Structure 1
Amino acid sequence: MEFTYMKTFLEVEKQGSYTNAASTLGYAQSSVTAHIQKLEAAYGIVLFERFGRNMRLTSAGRLLLPYAQDIVRLHKESLEKVAGQTNGSISIGTVESVAAFYLPAFLQAFRNNWPHVSISVEPLQEKQILAAIKNGTLDIGFILDPPGVHEGLQCVQLRREPLMIVTRPDHRFKDKQELTVFDLDNEPLILTEEGCTYRAMLLQGMAEANVRCVISYELGSLHAMKQSIQQGSGVALLPQMVVEEELQQHRLIATPYVHPMNHFYIQMVYAKNKWVSDALRAFLDMFPPEPIDQTDGMYQKE
């Protein structure tokens, strides 16, 4: 049985279709189909079933999944260990704000010192990042969340990131020094997509305070959110780093949002039991931890 078949199996499971998997892997769709058929023949079972337009794992496929993940992970580690420490790859999962406004300078600095190491950066939601690190499909994750403990994972707090209510310069909030949940009563909001941690914090706070929530837009793009704010479509809760350029150019204003749960840190996450190559160690060492404000507290997550 070829190792390539396992990689194909994992990509079809991730993409939910043979077509998308073929595009990602650079294969013809017929090759992807052949890989899965040969894998099914080797095990004597059916691995995928059609569900609407997508393919999903059968019960047998779900049993194979963790073994396939381990095989691919161990193969990658063996290549890095045996082939030498100056090449290899690092896979990173990160939330969009960190990918766009925090990581680029670090990535370029690493590239200058380790030019033969391949780096892939995949924008994901936090739950997806944590799950992918636990199953070994990602090496490192970057999240934006209050300090927490995640079972089996090492979490390093890198920087506290202020969350701000962002508005047009002529908005009625322009003279406010800070804002609370009660200031947002009946205020049109532009929200990030579901799964965003600070969106969840905002909406939970409004619900607990019995504040009326008026949603103007829900957008999956930070750039689109900023453009919508400038057009007067509403206000938004965003990390300060996302709007630094617009603040300097006086196209937007940002007011601190005061709430007991507003203690968000950029955090680097990786598996505690992960084998660390020289290249990966060099990358990890680029990010010095920041002491946690003891008033922020910690929370436990599975």
Structure 2
Amino acid sequence: MELTYLRTFREVAKWGSFTRAAEALGYAQSSITTQIQKLEESYGAVLVERFGRGMKLTIAGEALLQYANDIYRLHEESKEVVSKQSKGTLSIGTIETLAAFFLPPKLQAYRRDYPDVNVVIQPGNEPFIIDSVKEGALDVGIILDPPFSDPELHVNILREETMAIIASPDHRLGELSEVRVEDLESESLIMTEDGCTYRAMLLKVLKGNQVNYNLSYEFGNLEAIKQCVIYGLGIALLPRITVAEEIRKGQIVAVPFVHPECKFYTQLIYSKKKWQSKAFLGFVELIGGINHQNH
């Protein structure tokens, strides 16, 4: 039963709430409270304390969480080894751009080969995805970044993504073959939300080159950004794959943004501690992210 309690403990740690953990696990909240109390009795330590409206791990709880993650990972590994089947869940963390415009055909092919695997897509920004993969909360992450490295992770570059300034068809930048940072002087920019890697890059090079601009709108949604550009409310920096359909329809022009720091790659990341099940390896190989040196 303690494995069940540790699973519950991990959910409480994840959500910072007994109520949210109960919803995620399908338990009554009283059951969550009882399980945590029994776990605390077993370890002889307070693991969770109330913090404002939520819950926070104590120092003892933080220490146990590391072991709970390892125990859960080993338990999943043991089930895979014993069953020798390609079942279970594959959790993928990625940004909206890749979830919408890169992953769907890959997932279609994966479903064909592994129909019994439940694939869960967890959207988020790069820092969240990287931390979740390192902690074992996600099996793999697919990020859009300059070449990334971390001693705890395997990182495989899948492809380079063309970054483009998108504008309405009658915008002056549409006449250029490429856009340089000085071409953005006094332009109205429509930005992705904070935490986006290519947003951070653009702001950095604008500041570094002392280029004046107007930050007109910020959205966490790509469709909103594209619609504002179509209506002539400003320009935006986006991966070209996100606007292929709008370009085809003549609603948007996309001009490559040229700068030494504007080199972005779709990359697959996974923990060096990750148990590589048949279903996991199948996904990594399908997506083109296998690193034969590691296997």
Inter-CA distance 79–211: structure 2 relative to 1 (3 Å threshold):
same
**1:138: Cα distance to partner?**
1.5
Q: Determine the structure 1 residue equivalent to 2:123.
A: 123
Percent identity over the alignment is 50
Q: CA RMSD in A?
A: 1.7
**1:112: Cα distance to partner?**
1.0
Deviations 1:198-218 (A, max 9, x none): 111111111111112421122
- Comparing 110-119 with 280-289, greater Cα deviation is found at 280-289
Deviant stretches of 4+, over 3 Å: none
The equivalences for 1:139-154 within 5 A come to 139-154=139-154
Inter-CA distance 235–54: structure 2 relative to 1 (3 Å threshold):
farther
* Amino acid across the alignment from 1:94: T
**Alpha-carbon distance in 1 for matches of 2:14, 2:218:** 25
Inter-CA distance 49–110: structure 2 relative to 1 (3 Å threshold):
same
* Amino acid across the alignment from 2:105: A
Unaligned 5+ segments in structure 1 are 291-302
**1:54: Cα distance to partner?**
2.2
The answer (yes or no) to whether the contact 2:73–2:275 under 8 Å persists in 1 is no
**Alpha-carbon distance in 2 for matches of 1:27, 1:223:** 37
DSSP 3-state at the match of 1:154: strand
Q: Determine the structure 2 residue equivalent to 1:9.
A: 9
Inter-CA distance 107–227: structure 2 relative to 1 (3 Å threshold):
same
Inter-CA distance 233–39: structure 2 relative to 1 (3 Å threshold):
farther
DSSP 3-state at the match of 1:215: strand
Q: Determine the structure 1 residue equivalent to 2:21.
A: 21
Deviations 1:237-269 (A, max 9, x none): 111111111111111111111111111111111
* Amino acid across the alignment from 2:171: H
The answer (yes or no) to whether the contact 1:79–1:88 under 8 Å persists in 2 is no
**1:106: Cα distance to partner?**
0.8
The equivalences for 1:266-281 within 5 A come to 266-281=266-281
DSSP 3-state at the match of 1:173: helix
- Comparing 1-10 with 155-164, greater Cα deviation is found at 1-10
Deviations 1:108-158 (A, max 9, x none): 111111111121110121122222222222211101111232212111111
The answer (yes or no) to whether the contact 2:268–2:289 under 8 Å persists in 1 is no
**Alpha-carbon distance in 1 for matches of 2:188, 2:132:** 35
**Alpha-carbon distance in 2 for matches of 1:116, 1:59:** 39
Q: Determine the structure 1 residue equivalent to 2:180.
A: 180
**1:25: Cα distance to partner?**
1.9
The answer (yes or no) to whether the contact 1:153–1:271 under 8 Å persists in 2 is yes
Q: How many pairs are equivalent?
A: 290
The answer (yes or no) to whether the contact 2:165–2:254 under 8 Å persists in 1 is yes
Unaligned 5+ segments in structure 2 are 291-295
